[in-house]
Amino acid sequence: MTMAASTGNGNTTWMSKLPEPISNLPLYYLAIPGSHNSFSADLDRTQDVSIDEPGAIKFLGKIGGKGIICNWGKCQTLSIKEQLEAGIRYLDLRICRNPKSKQLTFLHGLYGRPVEELIANVQSFVEVFSKEVILIDVNHLYGCSADDVLRVFVSKMDEKLLSKDRLADSSQPPSLSNIWNSKYGTPRVTLFLNNHACGFDNLRIYSPWHNTDKHEALFQKLDTQKNNNNSFNVSQGVLTPQTKTILTNHSLKAFVDKTGINSRFMEWLKKKKSGRENGINICICDFIECNSYIDTVIGMNTEC
């Protein structure tokens, strides 16, 4: 796979443009735009309902309801390649072993593309844009283990991209400067499994799920969410559809538009700061192309 050196998007190389004081900070003090269920633009209606769903949803799929499942499983419209070019630097993943193909595959109600395709997209991107750093967080596993996922990444991705020992100073928390100045390779990708950063002894990520379809309740919970020190922390700007939500809306996209959750999330973020003292770190939302989300998050780094 090849990737053009220029995409015409001003955020494609946003990390490389950060001033030195910010690039010297640990990555968990930066504001980093991410996507929720990052892979879900490519769900496949021709396959069975995925193994993460209960029996009632599987029955719905058997009686012609895969279109409904797809409408609610799809949290993004942009491909992984398009998201990276747009400025997304955190990918939120659900992975299973597909019962038929036996491949490691993404899923969310329906099956998506093989994991190997994401690895190829990420590697192509960082090979062209060598100062950009990608965080890959595997949040849910079905029918496979963390070791299974790690083996695929190690076998399919250039090993120099994943190794802690290739940092300029591996005793320090990862910063952009520490990564850029490595003498031993180009460690541009951090993989998180079971909330731990692979290759790091004590580097963790926390991503609380607030499980509500009401924006008032969501922001109350986000306001009281406390960061874990010396760790990556995710603010999930997403509403979780309940049964009534699904019965009264055509799709997740329609629900997101109706509630205005992305606009409200942007308003909430504009009142926050990145950096130390419980600052904003990683953010995720559905349909990341909406409401200047990426610009808003990247712009917070001027206040670190």
Token look-up 């390649």 returns 81
Of 108-117, 246-255, 279-288, least confident by mean pLDDT is 246-255
- Supply the pLDDT for residue 5: 36
- Supply the pLDDT for residue 66: 96
Assess whether pLDDT exceeds 70 at residue 94.
yes
Assess whether pLDDT exceeds 60 at residue 4.
no
User: For the structural domain made of 15-303, what CATH number should be given?
Assistant: 3.20.20.190
Q: Is 36 a known active-site residue?
A: yes
User: Chain-wide mean pLDDT for the chain?
Assistant: 91
- On whether the CB atoms of residues 28 and 230 are closer than 8 A, the answer is yes
Percentage above 70 pLDDT, the chain: 92
- Supply the pLDDT for residue 8: 43
232: nearest Cα among 205, 208, 207: 205
The pair of three-digit structure tokens given for residue 77, joined into one six-digit string: 């419209």
- Mean pLDDT on 271-280: 87
pLDDT bracket for residue 2 (50, 70, 90): very low
The pair of three-digit structure tokens given for residue 303, joined into one six-digit string: 């206040």
Q: What angle do CA 131, 133, 135 make, to 5 degrees?
A: 175
> In the chain, how many H helices and how many E strands?
12, 10
Q: Which of 36, 196, 210, 215 is catalytic?
A: 36
Which pLDDT tens digit goes with each residue over 206-227? 999 999 999 999 999 999 999 9
Of 56-70, 107-121, 179-193, least confident by mean pLDDT is 179-193
Between strands 104-107 and 111-114, the pairing is: antiparallel
Q: Which of 108, 210, 215, 250 is catalytic?
A: 108
Q: Which are the contacts of 59, defined by CB distance < 8 A and separation ≥ 6?
A: none
Assess whether pLDDT exceeds 70 at residue 151.
yes
pTM attached to this predicted model: 0.94
Which pLDDT tens digit goes with each residue over 43-81? 999 999 999 999 999 999 999 999 999 999 999 999 999
DSSP bridge partners of 136? 91, 191
Domain ranges of the chain: 15-303
